[in-house]
Structure 1
Amino acid sequence: MSYPFEHGDETLWDAGYHGGQLYAALARAAAGVLDVPSGLTPTPQGGCAVDGDEFQVFVQRLYELSGSGTSEVLRELGHGLLVTSLVLLERTGRRISARPDHTAALDDARARLARTMTP
């Protein structure tokens, strides 16, 4: 059983059921902390629709929080969620603004994870 993340008619990630549920739950929780919508809406078929514009704002705010340098724990907790979100965001044709000294590491982490996230 899968848990697809869809943007319009395109499947961005056909996640495994538990992995997709966990990612969606973590994104919802993080969006609550950030006080922005996640851009992910559960679908009746058992997946999520991705609103590209809202999701881009969410991912930008997630990056800003995890990259703020205020807490090592916060940075580590947010890293996996951020990288997964960057893969999905790129598949919508969007990107975030990242500090130049973070860009290469984020692009590398995103590219490595993207190879495992089947659309």
Structure 2
Amino acid sequence: MSYYFETVGHTVWNPSLRMGRWYLAFAESAADLVHRPTGLTPSDGDTCAVDVPVFRQFVEALLECYASTRHPVQHGLMRGVLLTSLVMLERGGVKMSPESEREASVLAEVKVFASSM
């Protein structure tokens, strides 16, 4: 079974059901820590609506938090949800521009990471 993450009429990610649920759990936890809503609204079915403007604010907050430190454990914990979110945001029509070298380094990984999604 699959889990569909969709903007208006467009699928931005279609992982397995298990991966979709893992991502949602991580994203909700991250949203609590960065004090932003995710913009993700799961349905009773195997879909999740992505409100791109709200999701963008969430991803921007994640990226800012990631770039604000050199802590390797924090980077490791955030990396999966951040890269996945950046890919989904790009597929939803939003290209992020780096505001620092740290942001640029993680944004440079998006294309490679996207190939595994």
Per the TM superposition, whether the score is higher than 0.5 is: yes
Q: Distance in 1 between the 2:107 and 2:6 partners?
A: 22
Q: Give me the identity figure in percent.
A: 38
Aligned to 1:20: 20
Q: List runs of 5+ in structure 2 lacking aligned partners.
A: none
Q: CA deviation at 1:100?
A: 4.2
RMSD: 1.6
Q: CA deviation at 1:53?
A: 0.3
Q: CA deviation at 1:35?
A: 1.3
Matched, 1:91 2:86: no
- Amino acid in structure 1 at the alignment position of 2:71: S
CA contact (8 A) 1:7 1:52 kept: yes
CA contact (8 A) 1:66 1:75 kept: yes
Mark the CA change 1:100 to 1:67 in structure 2 (over 3 Å): closer, same or farther: closer
Q: Give 3-state SS (helix, strand or coil) of 2:95's partner.
A: coil
Q: Which of the pair is proportionally richer in strand?
A: 1
Deviations 1:38-96 (A, max 9, x none): 01000222221100000000000001111111632112211111111100000111133
Residues matched between the structures, number? 117
Q: Any residues of structure 2 matched to 1:24-43 within 5 Å, and which?
A: 24-43=24-43
TM-score, structure 1 as length reference: 0.89
TM-score, structure 2 as length reference: 0.90
Q: Any residues of structure 2 matched to 1:2-81 within 5 Å, and which?
A: 2-69=2-69, 71-81=71-81
Q: Distance in 2 between the 1:99 and 1:12 partners?
A: 25
Q: CA deviation at 1:33?
A: 1.2
- Amino acid in structure 2 at the alignment position of 1:76: G
